[in-house]
Amino acid sequence: MSTTFQLDTSTSRANPTPQPMKRLTVPRIRARKTDGVTEDPLVMLTAYTARQAQLLDAHCDLLLVGDSLGQVIYGLPSTIPVTMEMMANHGAAVVRGSYHSVVVIDMPFGSYEASREQAFDSAARLLKETGAAAVKLEGGAAMAPTVEFLNTRGIPVMGHVGLTPQAVNVLGGYAARGRSDAEADKIVSDAKALDEAGAFAIVVEGVVEPIAIAVTEAVSCPTIGIGASAKCDGQVLVTDDMLGMFERVPRFVKRYENIAEIIEKTVATYASEVRARSFPGEEQTYQPKG
């Protein structure tokens, strides 16, 4: 038995509840790719809150507490200003709201690049404060020694190559990567270096499709595509993008629903009823007894 947290939908509170341990593990995720083949593709989505995690959990293998919360939750212009405190707080909420998925937390910009020791301190803090299973960091061959350092000290690491949003100031924007031969070769070699260093999976973001396929074929660990290829070993999207919470989304996003429109219409109805004094009605008010 293991104590986890279940969100009570009647009270919106997360309550400790003894449950048998059923959560997926990092080794099980890694083992989904055998002899270069993943028969059952991995499903990953971003999650930032307990309730969101609860709704996504049963359908996903992994939940990513992405530093995309900088834009999605806080309205920041990029992921650069995201702090450790933000990641720790939202990571803990997602762990409380989930039971099945492996929860992975992005390491924010500036929390791991300076040294392997800095990366360990930051990663250890995130895992301790949240209960998550793994961290994700951006970068290729330059970060491979850090990945190996963390992995050999008990911290599973998910890599990230191709378009790396934390490097937007160096890259000069969010355009797809791998269009030149030199850049394509570097993306593949970066992925190989992370794989050899012990990364249990690698996100491949915003690359031309042949390069995503080449990376998937070149590494032994699963690849998770976003703006890459259906031939990757799994896929991830920012949940708010695929639900239609924003007017503009990257071209690689498929908008499965227009939740923003539903919310706007619902709020407009509420506002009109308040102004017409038709809400609250008798069913929503307390009347004298007797």
What is the greatest pairwise CA distance in the chain?
82
Residue 110 carries which DSSP code?
A: T
CA distance 95 to 283: 36
As annotated, the active-site residues are 205
Q: Is 178 left (phi over 0), alpha (psi -120 to 50) or beta?
A: left
How is residue 226 written in tokens? 């976003």
Q: What is the pLDDT of residue 251?
A: 86
Q: To 10 degrees, what angle do helices 84-97 and 116-130 make?
A: 40
- Known binding-site residues for Mg(2+) equal 67, 106, 138
Q: What is the pLDDT of residue 1?
A: 26
Strand 201-205 with 102-106, pairing = unpaired
Each residue's pLDDT tens digit in the chain (290 positions)? 234 566 666 666 666 554 544 899 999 999 999 999 999 999 999 999 999 999 999 999 999 999 999 999 999 999 999 999 999 999 999 999 999 999 999 999 999 999 999 999 999 999 999 999 999 999 999 999 999 999 999 999 999 999 876 766 666 555 666 578 888 899 999 999 999 999 999 999 999 999 999 999 999 999 999 999 999 999 999 999 999 999 888 888 999 999 999 999 999 999 999 999 999 999 999 999 87
Q: What is the pLDDT of residue 250?
A: 84
Q: For the chain, which domains are there? A: 2-242 (3.20.20.60)
Question: Among candidates 214, 243, 212, which has minimal Cα distance to 228?
Answer: 212
CA distance 26 to 112: 21
3-state secondary structure of 22: coil
How is residue 107 written in tokens? 């390491």
- Known binding-site residues equal 67-68, 106, 136, 138
What single-letter amino acid sits at 229? S
Tokens 């970060």 -> residue: 143
Q: How far is CA 275 from CA 262, 270, 285, 287, in A?
A: 20, 9, 17, 22
CA distance 257 to 245: 9
